[in-house]
Structure 1
Amino acid sequence: MSLMRSLNRALTATTGLQVRRAARPSAAPARPPVYHEPSAEDRLLRRPVFVISSIRSGSTLLRMMLDTHSRLRAPHELHISRLEVGYGSSVSEYAMQNLGLERGDLEHLLWDRVLHRELVRSGKEFIVEKTPGNVFCHERIRDSWPDARFLLLLRHPESVARSWHESDPVKRPYEQAVADVLRHVEAVDRARGTLGEACTVRYEDITADPDRELRRLCAYLGVEFEPGMADYGAKSDPDLKRGLGDWRASIRTGTVQPGRALPAPDEVHPSLRPYCASWGYS
């Protein structure tokens, strides 16, 4: 007699319950959620801002400076695109569909509510969301908030790969770091082609002249530049946590640190060279 059958006999005798094998996961890829264009009453947020970038591109530095502004709330990475909605039963799914709400619509309502809650708690006017994973769903973000604004943050791809490798060299050998970064860089490049309305800023320009770049970004966002934004203040452990953005010593200083020297052309990994060229890094 199999172990499963023995368990079932014992459970049935005592509780009336039975153990069933879990269904094997389907080999077919999950279908993307269906959603509709939102109406005005579907959104609490107005004109949210999303930073589109690769990992290790300076998005934490950018958000720290923007968060000093009296009208901008730029919290740590929120990873809202990973928040998903599931139906508890077929009846709840049927009920939502009769309201005109598919699963994607419900997820967008959840995303909007989470961001709006954080904005209200801050007492500010506009929220800035900087999770690097946004780059993989920027089109859905734009569909969810048609009035969203986008900051496209670029950094030399080889510098990104080296920074990613150096953040955990044992876990991420250089070649693995390049492979990880290439996936993000490819996504950023796609975003460059689809987010024509985005304001592009380079990490190297931010570190070279932060006030100049912050003035330009403020003008794009329709807010007045406020002196001192580059001096965002020294931070402690509770303010910067691994997994929610950069947490290392340089970001804790409270001031913009000099960027690393750009790599020479022959120091760039071959897989990253096409993007260095198309992004203007000769």
Structure 2
Amino acid sequence: MTTNTKHELSFTEAKNKLGLVARVQRKLRTAGKQRVFVTPQPAASATPPIFIIGVHRSGTTLLRLVLDSHSRIAVPRESVFLLPLSEMWRDETALLGLSGLGFEADHVLYKLRELSDYFFNSYAAGRNKPRWADKSPQYVDCLDFIEKLYGPSCKYLFIYRNGLDVACSIGTRKVFKLAKPHQDACGDPFLGAARYWSAQCQKMLQFEQAHRARVFTLRYETFVHSPEAIARKLFEFIGEPWEPQVLEFHKQEHDTGFLEDPIASMSKGFQPSLKNYEKLPPELVQGMKREARGMLQQLEYEVE
């Protein structure tokens, strides 16, 4: 190979390298202007889920045990799983970051539902049941997210209980962080609990008014006095056949966990727990009524 030929090869190699560098630099300059858009693939349809919604100490555990006793429905103890997902969904920074990766809001929502379905469907399959329900009182604070996630495919069971009994139950607990802001504002655990109950019920009523066709409403007091009549209507609403063993939920096996109230979980049937607030000092009860009067009247509970 002659000297001139070597020089020509060196020049050609150098030119190619410079061309490669230029192409890489152009890619880097335009990278910020281009984004990949990922197209979600359609998911297989699932059996419509059910969500049990109610303020803490309102009978949600009782309702869970009844549904979990049905041969087709699996209801775990409180998972609170969707609440942190809803917080991520509301985080604009997180959504912008995912958008920068090419995942727009609809795709993110699709993947969050896919994640939720994976866990709950797997749980139901492990129980040899085709349908699942989720019971977490904290979901009162993320009903809008659940609706975005599942939309018209899901059904809601809303349970209400006399706010004075709810406040009495919450107030007797030393620590109840969800009601703490209201308790701190009132300077009393019972008055704050009554205010907390009222605020949570207001959220439920607003959602119920917007989605009446998919919300079944029941009262704890009526349920414990006429369980079969209410339960039959409930199962008809969610499209499941009637099974008498749901009324003997205490004779069925249920999964255990650590987030749910152990006393309620060990209930031996429909044992009414009513007007416990009457054991409190009269002046305290009057204060609780002042805090919750408007909602008590709206839900048609007697207020003296």
Identify if the C-alpha distance between structure 1 residues 45 and 254 changes in structure 2 by more than 3 Å, giving closer, same or farther.
farther
Judge which range, 220-229 or 177-186, deviates more. Answer: 177-186
Structure 1: unaligned runs, 5 residues or longer: 1-38
Matches within 5 A, 1:178-189: 178-189=194-205
Match of 1:207 in 2: 224
1:64 positional shift = 0.5
Report if aligned partners of 1:161, 1:174 keep a CA contact under 8 Å in 2: yes
Identify if the C-alpha distance between structure 1 residues 54 and 240 changes in structure 2 by more than 3 Å, giving closer, same or farther.
same
Aligned residue pairs total 238
Residue of 202, 207, 227 corresponding to 1:191: 207
Match of 2:262 in 1: 247
Report if aligned partners of 1:44, 1:113 keep a CA contact under 8 Å in 2: no
1:280 aligns with 2:286: no
1:158 aligns with 2:164: yes
Structure 2: unaligned runs, 5 residues or longer: 1-39, 181-188, 279-284
Work out the percentage of aligned pairs sharing the same amino acid.
21
CA distance in 2, matches of 1:218, 1:50: 13
CA distance in 2, matches of 1:181, 1:121: 35
Judge which range, 63-72 or 221-230, deviates more. Answer: 221-230
Match of 1:53 in 2: 54
1:97 aligns with 2:113: no
CA distance in 2, matches of 1:242, 1:202: 26
CA distance in 2, matches of 1:98, 1:231: 47
SS state at 1:46 partner: coil
CA distance in 2, matches of 1:220, 1:276: 26
Q: TM-score, with normalisation over the residues of structure 1?
A: 0.72
CA distance in 1, matches of 2:261, 2:158: 18
1:99 positional shift = 10
Report if aligned partners of 1:54, 1:135 keep a CA contact under 8 Å in 2: yes
CA distance in 1, matches of 2:99, 2:206: 34
Match of 1:123 in 2: 128
Matches within 5 A, 1:126-141: 126-141=131-146
Instruction: Give the helix-richer structure, 1 or 2.
Output: 2
Match of 1:219 in 2: 236
SS state at 2:218 partner: strand
Q: CA RMSD in A?
A: 3.3
